[in-house]
């Protein structure tokens, strides 16, 4: 699913109005009707207080349409107009009159703190104050009102965007922003919904199709793409019945040190559970019996050193090398990693201490094979590219880094971001239970397993992150967030594939 900027969405609205020969008010009615349908589907006429706070622009106009439709279906609705300016949009004014004609009363006008209404814990509050066009922080009594709503403990539904949230920059500390429990957004999600610094304002989120011009949407270059089930299905390559293990490639997983062999078991298990035909591990001697016992399906090669890697030499013609998990940063390990980088031309997946070595010895970055996949968490990324001021600055710096190094960066998080040149892909699977030791080791093995099966590194990264998150979701359904460990994610990879295939066979749409 494409993620568009505010200016792209505005252009899409204008082209839709022109090509479909409708008015802006017609489009507003269409969009707000979709919101009403979702509310009505969930509330089913429940008798609870619905309090709608409308600004005086088009987001407020959306709120007025929603209010009118709820009133027509006998909901207990109270409308408040946040009167922060004398300027009103034409579509707001038109729907303002329609509310008066229906209810025979004007909505209640809020002009300052003295006008704040009573909000109770059981109220259903709809935020339609400011939309995607907001470009400056809320001030004065309006900011205080937003904080007042947040403190009310009422359920808050935001329309299109939580009021006070910007589409293209991060609010500063102390800025007033609605803390929504749920956001219903129009046509396309917004990038800020997925950034660590702003996603808490959005709550749960659903995208509503409002019929914007399909031709325009199909041709426009998005700021990012959200990866759900449908996108993952499009990336998946079904297996040929007439095949053998040699068709699905050979992964070499190199890493581990004394006390950290488990990370290699996790990554190698994941590579095999993702479908690699063969997986070989290269580890210090201390890990030999551990891996042979824990994972008899893997082949094992050992370094001459008992506790750490000092000399990675093998005549294996592996299709992909996965390096770094638990490997440590001893000088001899650094030296053998240098030699490995200089000698290999095959794709690589580099994680954990492999990333830390690259950060400490920047000259090694020039030896990375093109389209190497780096899988940092935020701290590892910071060591690689330096400090950033906010999430938008972080994105710019990652893009500069990958343009220079010609690599793919998988930035792990609640919504994992995959960066490749000018393209950004945002994953939409996964859950808090995956915040557990070894989850990243599993992800590296998943991506390596897909690359071995001849998926292009970018495709392997995007599909691998999706499947890794989906396996985590399946694990959470069985065990709960707290009960999950990373080995569960590796073990359930097959079920993640089955989920993908069953939905594809049924022709179901993505989440």
Structure tokens at 248: 């699905």
Q: 106 with 64: CB under 8 angstroms?
A: no
Is residue 59 a known part of a binding site? yes
Helix (H) or strand (E) holding 339: helix 331-343
Is residue 250 a known part of a binding site? no
Alpha-carbon torsion angle 356, 358, 362, 364, nearest 10: 160
Is residue 60 a known part of a binding site? yes
How many C-alpha atoms does 491 have within 13 Å on its Cβ side? Answer: 10
Is residue 181 a known part of a binding site? no
Is residue 61 a known part of a binding site? yes
Is residue 42 a known part of a binding site? no
Is residue 85 a known part of a binding site? no
Q: 248 with 275: CB under 8 angstroms?
A: yes
Is residue 62 a known part of a binding site? yes
Is residue 440 a known part of a binding site? yes
Rounded Cα distance between 465 and 377, Å, is 13
CA distances from 453 to 276, 427, 493 (A): 6, 21, 15
Is residue 215 a known part of a binding site? no
Is residue 127 a known part of a binding site? yes
C-alpha 173: how far from chain center: 23
Is residue 140 a known part of a binding site? no
The Cβ of residue 477 has, within 10 Å, a number of other Cβ atoms equal to 12
Is residue 63 a known part of a binding site? no
Residues 6 or more apart in contact with residue 105 via CB below 8 angstroms: none
Judged by DSSP in three states, 427 sits in strand
Is residue 21 a known part of a binding site? no
Q: What strands lie across the sheet with 320-323, from one edge to the other?
A: 2-3, 224-227, 423-427, 417-420, 408-411, 373-374, 348-350, 320-323, 250-254, 278-283, 299-302
Is residue 271 a known part of a binding site? no
Is residue 45 a known part of a binding site? no
Is residue 377 a known part of a binding site? yes
Rounded Cα distance between 79 and 107, Å, is 5
Rounded Cα distance between 308 and 303, Å, is 8
Is residue 135 a known part of a binding site? yes
Is residue 134 a known part of a binding site? yes
Is residue 319 a known part of a binding site? no
Is residue 483 a known part of a binding site? no
Is residue 324 a known part of a binding site? no
Structure tokens at 117: 């209404």
Q: What are phi and psi of 254, to 5 degrees?
A: -115, 130
Rounded Cα distance between 467 and 465, Å, is 6
Q: Where are the beta strands (DSSP E) in 209-331?
A: 224-227, 250-254, 278-283, 299-302, 320-323
Is residue 464 a known part of a binding site? no
Is residue 326 a known part of a binding site? yes
Q: Residues marked as binding for K(+)?
A: 59, 127, 163
Q: Residues marked as binding for AMP?
A: 412-416, 440
Q: Residues marked as binding?
A: 58-62, 127, 131-137, 160, 163, 326, 377, 412-416, 440-441
Q: Residues marked as binding for (6S)-NADPHX?
A: 58-62, 131-137, 160, 326, 377, 441
């Amino acid at each position: 699913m494409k993620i568009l900027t505010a200016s792209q969405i505005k252009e899409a609205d204008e082209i839709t109005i022109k090509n479909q020969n409708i008015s802006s008010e017609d489009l507003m009615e269409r969009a707000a009707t979709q919101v009403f349908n979702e509310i009505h589907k969930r509330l089913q006429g429940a008798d609870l207080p619905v309090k709608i706070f409308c600004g005086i622009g088009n987001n407020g106009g959306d709120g007025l349409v929603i209010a009118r439709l709820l009133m027509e279906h006998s909901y207990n609705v109270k409308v408040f107009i946040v009167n922060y300016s004398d300027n009103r949009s034409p579509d707001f004014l038109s729907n303002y009159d329609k509310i008066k004609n229906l209810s025979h009363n004007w909505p209640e006008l809020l002009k300052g703190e003295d006008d704040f209404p009573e909000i109770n814990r059981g109220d259903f509050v709809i935020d339609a104050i400011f939309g995607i066009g907001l470009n400056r922080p809320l001030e004065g009594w309006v900011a205080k009102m937003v904080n007042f709503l947040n403190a009310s403990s009422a359920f808050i539904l935001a329309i299109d965007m939580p009021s006070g949230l910007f589409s293209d920059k991060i609010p500063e500390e102390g800025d007033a922003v609605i803390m929504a429990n749920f956001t219903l957004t129009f046509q396309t999600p917004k990038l800020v919904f997925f950034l660590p610094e702003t996603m808490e304002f959005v709550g749960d989120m659903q995208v509503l199709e409002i019929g914007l011009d399909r031709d325009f949407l199909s041709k426009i270059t998005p700021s990012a793409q959200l990866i759900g089930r449908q996108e993952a299905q499009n990336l998946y390559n079904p297996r040929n019945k007439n095949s053998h293990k040699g068709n699905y490639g050979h992964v070499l997983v190199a890493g581990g040190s004394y006390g950290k062999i488990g990370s290699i078991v996790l990554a190698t298990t994941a590579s095999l559970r993702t479908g690699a035909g063969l997986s070989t591990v290269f580890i210090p001697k201390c890990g030999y019996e551990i891996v042979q016992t824990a994972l008899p399906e893997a082949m094992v090669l050992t370094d001459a050193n008992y506790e750490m890697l000092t000399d990675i030499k093998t005549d294996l013609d592996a299709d992909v090398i996965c390096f770094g998990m638990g490997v440590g940063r001893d000088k001899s390990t650094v030296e053998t990693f240098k030699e490995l980088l200089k000698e290999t031309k095959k794709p690589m997946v580099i994680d954990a201490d492999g990333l830390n070595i690259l950060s400490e010895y920047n000259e090694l970055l020039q030896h990375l094979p093109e389209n190497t996949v780096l899988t940092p968490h935020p701290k590892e990324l910071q060591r690689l590219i330096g400090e950033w001021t906010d999430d938008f600055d972080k994105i710019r710096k990652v893009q500069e880094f990958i343009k220079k190094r010609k690599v793919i960066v998988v930035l792990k998080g609640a919504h994992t971001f995959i960066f490749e040149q000018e393209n950004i892909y945002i994953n939409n699977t996964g859950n808090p239970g995956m915040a557990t030791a070894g989850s990243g080791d599993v992800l590296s093995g998943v991506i390596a397993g897909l690359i071995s099966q001849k998926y292009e590194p970018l495709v392997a990264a995007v599909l691998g992150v999706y499947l890794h998150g989906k396996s985590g979701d399946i694990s959470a359904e069985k065990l709960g967030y707290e009960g999950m460990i990373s080995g569960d994610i590796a073990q359930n990879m097959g079920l993640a594939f089955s989920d993908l295939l069953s939905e594809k066979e049924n022709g179901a749409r993505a989440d």
